[in-house]
Structure 1
């Protein structure tokens, strides 16, 4: 896995190449490249409205709308590697809390952003939607942090 300490380059492993979906999140490699606006305080948002993983009890698919916001430090995550990482959860068994927080923690530990938060808006399981939120701490002063824009679950009404 490429981390900031590996001296990120402008030659990510997946960009512009055929890249099979990793078999598991542990196998997935996240690529990081130098922040092109190092020193500037700005927010990056990734939205995965069709995220899936598997229930660890029933093996049935679970669906979520993920929103990942971060203020870059020295690096940014390369989006294709993030897409492959998130896709690797399709065959991964995990509770909503473990999956959501685990994604946020891995990105935070490897990328070392100034700030990161993740919102996991899970569709109902057993009639109950589950929303999971995690962040590294308070947002840096002066960072514009818009609402994640995901409406509360309303079912059919």
Structure 2
């Protein structure tokens, strides 16, 4: 690996780790980012995560959802394995849908300071009602 690649990926610890220490709460998990070599242009990155699971904060029953993260990166990009582990950390977390979507957005903004970002949560029906939540940062993404 040349020096510029090493510097670009220097902060990534989860991607090369072969251990299986999954975080059990979002507070324990960490998103990681790498340097965006195309920071001079606008482009959209989309993560499509159809297997999101959390627990209802009242009943403790599992809630299933589909999370879509879209963002326009600035100097940093989210590393996908760290996102997978971060989302996994909600699996045993009691949280409302609205809270989880906004928590995910806050973590993305804190980690990579994107130009714009949105997190969309499409949650499976419970009692005949499906809930969809969208949280944005920096304005709408076209």
TM-score, structure 1 normalization: 0.81
Matched with 1:134 is 135
Matched with 2:92 is 91
Q: After the TM superposition, which residues 38-53 of structure 1 pair with which residues of structure 2 at under 5 Å, given as runs?
A: 38-53=39-54
Query: Which whole-Å deviations, capped at 9, do the CAs of 1:95-139 have from their partners, x for residues lacking one?
Result: 000001110111112210000001100111121000001101324
Gaps of 5+ in 1: 1-7, 146-157
- Secondary structure of the residue aligned to 1:70 is strand
Matched with 1:33 is 34
**Correspondence 1:69 to 2:80:** no
**Correspondence 1:60 to 2:61:** yes
Cα distance in structure 2, aligned partners of 1:109 and 1:15? 19
Matched with 1:112 is 113
Cα distance in structure 1, aligned partners of 2:84 and 2:107? 14
State how many pairs are aligned.
Answer: 134
Cα distance in structure 2, aligned partners of 1:129 and 1:23? 26
TM-score, structure 2 normalization: 0.89
Moved over 4 A (4+): none
